[in-house]
Structure 1
Amino acid sequence: MSCFSSDAPPSVSVVLGRVLRDVLTGQGMPVAEFQRRSGLSAHELSQDGLRLGLDRHERLRTLLPLIDPAEIDRAPIDRDGLARYWPDLAALWFNEPDAARAVREWVMFRPLIGSIDAVELHEQPDQLVVTYRPVCAGAAARQSVMANFAMLRELLREHQTAAGTGALRLQAEIADIGLSRHRLAAQHQLQMPVRCSGQADVHRLIVRGPALRLAAAPSNPWLAERSRAHLSARLRQLLMQPVCDDLAARVEQVLAARWDAPDGLWPGDTGGSDAAEVDDAAALQRAVAQALGLSRWTLRRQLDASGLAFADVVERLRGRRLQALLPRTDLSLLDVAWRTGFRSASAFSRYHRRRYGEAPSQRRRSLVEV
């Protein structure tokens, strides 16, 4: 059973970056260094729906070896941690009556966390086999495998307790873990037997026992169905959700967030000269670069390398927004001005006349009539 449609671009939730940031800054890494090394700005880390592609996911993977192994033991993946970072997923995963259903729902909705690594579920009458194939190799692959298998172990902990000793058994098969010290460390972390899978890139978690499909754990069917419907809708939306790794797309996303904010500022932005009427292209570019964790000159250089100028990105987004917002009669012209980056109707009117050769009100009438 495949977990997700192959039509969706591989991506991971920005929440994974938030988890890694919390762990590494807890170990003493400065926030600014994490942002520089991960390529994630504070603004992007605050966007729950943001999806990251292969490039920035790989940058996150390079930070995994920096995690102190003792930190993993002190703060294992547990129910509280899952509920903190993925409350909607935890609400379903910890509300299933039997182990088989809990594993099935984990595989089904795991793409909401990440779909870059391949995860499949193979069901047999007496056992379930979760196969995990990460796109990376070596230590980074093992850490990804351990994190995912630890998550599954936590989902099944209550089912094991309710079923009784030996009625539900877990076993991990991890590639490239032949050394006894590595295997013992993995057994300690996962709290289950671990052996080498014998294949270079295939990792498995096997769940078996007479209580596999026994409804033993307490559950709320109504709440589970509500959660399942909500998550299914999010999974369908994921097929159409863009991956925000392209720099121009990231700039547009930051601009849109700034223009949609009630005061045109981001949290923590104190205003000042950069909060004046946004006719000052340099000030706007500086504000966007800061939100992305870049200098203004780095942003300019990277956009130039892709054949774009910052002003072109701004104009492209403004044009799309004007086409969508100007015909909306429920919005005042000042609202439209605000959402396209202007702080006054006069500045917006001057821009519009210069760009389109007519006043915004005239163009609105023509668009509404069409």
Structure 2
Amino acid sequence: MTDDADGALIVSLINAVSAQPDDVPLRLHLALLLVNADRTDEAVAHIAAVLQREPDNAAARDLMSRALTLTVDRPTREETSQDDTLAAYEQELADVVPPRFAPASEHHDKVTGDDDNLFDVERPRVTLADVGGLVEVKQRLELAFLAPLRNPQLRGLYGKSLRGGLLLYGPPGCGKTFLARAIAGELRARFVSVSLTDVLDMWLGNSERNLRELFQAARRNTPCVMFLDEVDALGLKRTQTASTGMRTTINQLLAELDGMQGDNDGLFVLAATNAPWDVDPALHRPGRLDRTMLVLPPDAPARAAILRYHLRERPIAQIDLDALVAATEHWSGADLEHLCDSAAEYAMHDSITTGHVRMIEQKDFRNALRDLRPSTGPWLETARNVAMFANTDGQYDDLAAYLRHRKLL
């Protein structure tokens, strides 16, 4: 059979597997063709899907071992050959064809204007359905943002505007950024992510200009979700900073949130922080970040979903997911990702040491669990002090309830 015929057959089988994802023999046949066509990365993903359905499938295990062995052996040869060939061509044609990469330069000219490329405006494909667990958080989001958008007539009847902001806070690594992207995807809105480096500038007035241009870009793309990451650094309490430049930057942020120089209707501002107690109180006034939501470490269904996600394309066998979920209570999403990476490292090290490529097994996770600890502990200690001594206005009642549930308060 010719290469073109092989390629056509593979395309047909890919379409068939998409229509019948649970057809194990069909998926395994596709994986075999992909291995023979030296498309091992794609083959591994399909074999892993087979093993998730039938962990004891001997044909799948053998094919996985073959695919992983090819994957280990192939890159060094191909990459070295390709690099040498490109280097030879580049040297031979240096007088005619310019080099592929320009020399390093310390000076970069910014592109400005309405059609600039300074800010990435994207359309996220994830939705709240892709967020595991967090039922209460989703319900509050439905009330604050999603229901008014889906019901414009009722929105007009009740005089509900499409402006406002929401502050997400909680331990680091619990998915606040992913949740913000999912909200934008749920709204079918564009998404603009803003970090501290996008705003702050060493020259006087440039930080305020950067903020203004960011908000203008978001307003041009409404409906739009603007995400302010680590907002405690950008909107630090003005009583805690002696920098005049930082104070004026915070003032500019407050003005943009008020929409004094532009219409913010259709612009949803989401902010995330690990330290809401450091955020300037003026940011919490109505029309700004006037709602606050606690994003906690994932519950059991969410942990199961996160672990499945990070194992979806890895070669696994006989993994006791329920045991992993039970052993990782109070772990953040980032902790769970690190757990999967560590288990993979143990399996890979064993494969290199023994010379026999094998899949990731439960014993690798037991070894990783022995070495790792959840990263939420230090944050909870700080949060405990805030809930005990700085919650006079009830702002952190939900945090206090969580700490009492865990018997930390």
Q: What's the TM-score once normalised by structure 1's chain length?
A: 0.23
Q: What's the TM-score once normalised by structure 2's chain length?
A: 0.21
Higher CA-based Rg: 2
